[in-house]
Amino acid sequence: MSLEPLFADEAFYCPLCDDSDDESDYLRQVFSKERQRWLANMVTHYRHSHVAYYDNGVGYVASYHNYDEFKHLANERAKRQIIRKCLAFLLAHGFTSQDFAALKGTEEKTLELARKRLDSKNAASQVPLLLTDN
């Protein structure tokens, strides 16, 4: 895995796809900090491109009270999966739990995982190992 930039030419890099996707104009206006803007774009991208049930999930929505609740649950799952699946990328770019805390509605369960994986004393020392293991 190479250390790709977060953004290039109004697109953001997805380490799971190993490709770029269009950045949201709305999120570009909402988030001034690059890491937080990348996370917000990545959560949206993950929800639509890496979670099969989301876009086809009309049946799942019926089991929740409303669409917003369904979207919130999908976003929280996406954040945790991004931490797990993109850990080397996040560490190499200096992400911390504070970047996740800046996103709307981030739950304690997600922040706990972010603190454990991103903020621990030995997290940064793991980056070279994680980058070569993929």
Q: Is the pLDDT of residue 133 over 80?
A: no
The secondary structure of 29-46 as a DSSP string is: HH--SHHHHHHHHHHHHH
Q: How confident is the model at residue 69 (pLDDT cuts 50, 70, 90)?
A: confident
Q: Is the pLDDT of residue 67 over 70?
A: yes
**Residue 57: is its pLDDT beyond 70?**
no
The reply to whether the predicted model has a pTM over 0.85 is: no
Query: Between these two residues, 14 and 65, which has the higher pLDDT value?
Result: 14
Residue 110 burial by Cβ neighbours in a 10 Å radius (0-12, 13-18, 19+): buried
